[in-house]
Amino acid sequence: MPNLFDLTGKSALITGSSKGIGKAIAYRLAEHGANVVISSRKADACEAVRDEINQKLARKAAISIPANIASKEALEHLVAETDKAFGKIDILVCNAASNPYFGPMAGMSDEQFDKILKNNIVSNHWLISMVAPQMRARKDGAIIIVSSIGGLRGTNVLGAYAISKAADMQLARNLALEFGPDNVRVNTIAPGLIKTDFARALWENPDILKASTERAPLKRIGEPDEIAGMAVFLAAPAGSFTTGQTFVIDGGQTVV
């Protein structure tokens, strides 16, 4: 029987993949056979992860193409270089995001609000619009947006970030309807609190850490690999009948 998680011959582009959740997703996709593009703003960080993955897997599974998601031209270059290297993009993971402000909405500047929405919503729209046509033409493709449980609940510290993550879920639902007839699937993953540098302000705060774990069934925060497994499922044949969904991975935090 075919392996439901075999990604051999597939090519994946993962933004924000030089660390944290994005890095874990890139490694696990490559481990399951995919060729992967490591991308974030800093070239040296991308190259380090590329070399680490290639060394661990003993094959040239990864390449690095730095890009700033806030620039449409940079994203166009990223897609063009990925196509040049691999010939196609079968899997797109929109993981990169930003949150330059932590606190109540009343204290957020217009510049910060605009930056969050541009990086977390508009850039995903741009990148998907650049990649989806080739997927639709081939009648095959998987698009994964990394959202957050912040998009499911009210918050007094994550403001526009939570708004952007709720919008990511709706973006996936809309595009699932548009792309479904061409066998292109679009889903989101909504992690809870994960031990990454990006979420450091949350898990290093003892009050927030306690609130996040005290009532949750698993009583702990998550690790990046615990999100990567869902990305492999959604990218692989195992997830071929799954689209338009948001998968919450939060240790049970949102059930209480």
Burial zone of 100 (CB within 10 Å; 0-12 exposed, 13-18 middle, 19+ buried): middle
CB 102 within 8 A of CB 22: no
Indicate whether 237 belongs to any domain.
yes
Indicate whether 50 belongs to any domain.
yes
Q: Is pLDDT at 1 greater than 60 in this prediction?
A: no
The count of domains in the chain is 1
Tell me the pTM: 0.95
- Per-residue pLDDT at 207: 84
pLDDT tens, residue by residue, 47-76: 999 999 999 999 999 999 999 999 999 999
Indicate whether 3 belongs to any domain.
no
Indicate whether 5 belongs to any domain.
no
Q: Which of 13, 71, 21 is nearest to 41 (CA)?
A: 71
Domain region containing 41: 11-247
Q: Is pLDDT at 202 greater than 80 in this prediction?
A: no
Instruction: Look over the chain and give the mean of its residue pLDDT values, rounded to a whole number.
Output: 95
Q: Which of the two residues, 196 and 255, has the higher pLDDT score?
A: 255
Give 130's pLDDT tier (boundaries 50, 70, 90).
Answer: very high
27 is known as an active-site residue? no
Indicate whether 255 belongs to any domain.
no
Q: Which of 136, 140, 138, 160 is nearest to 148 (CA)?
A: 160
- Per-residue pLDDT at 48: 98
CA separation for the pair 142, 127 (Å, rounded): 13
Give 250's pLDDT tier (boundaries 50, 70, 90).
Answer: very high
Q: Is pLDDT at 198 greater than 80 in this prediction?
A: no
Indicate whether 224 belongs to any domain.
yes
pLDDT tens, residue by residue, 149-181: 999 999 888 889 999 999 999 999 999 999 999
Q: Is pLDDT at 186 greater than 50 in this prediction?
A: yes
Indicate whether 187 belongs to any domain.
yes
- Per-residue pLDDT at 158: 86
Catalytic position from the list 27, 161, 179, 233: 161
Indicate whether 253 belongs to any domain.
no
The CATH number of the domain holding residue 218 is 3.40.50.720
Q: Which of the two residues, 29 and 209, has the higher pLDDT score?
A: 29
SS (HEC) of the chain: CCCCCCCCCCEEEEECCCCHHHHHHHHHHHHCCCEEEEECCCHHHHHHHHHHHHHHHCCCCEEECCCCCCCHHHHHHHHHHHHHHHCCCCEEEECCCCCCCCCCHHHCCHHHHHHHHHHHHHHHHHHHHHHHHHHHHHCCEEEEEECCHHHCCCCCCCHHHHHHHHHHHHHHHHHHHHHHHHCEEEEEEEECCECCCCCHHHHCCHHHHHHHHCCCCCCCCECCHHHHHHHHHHHCHHHCCCCCCEEEECCCHHHC
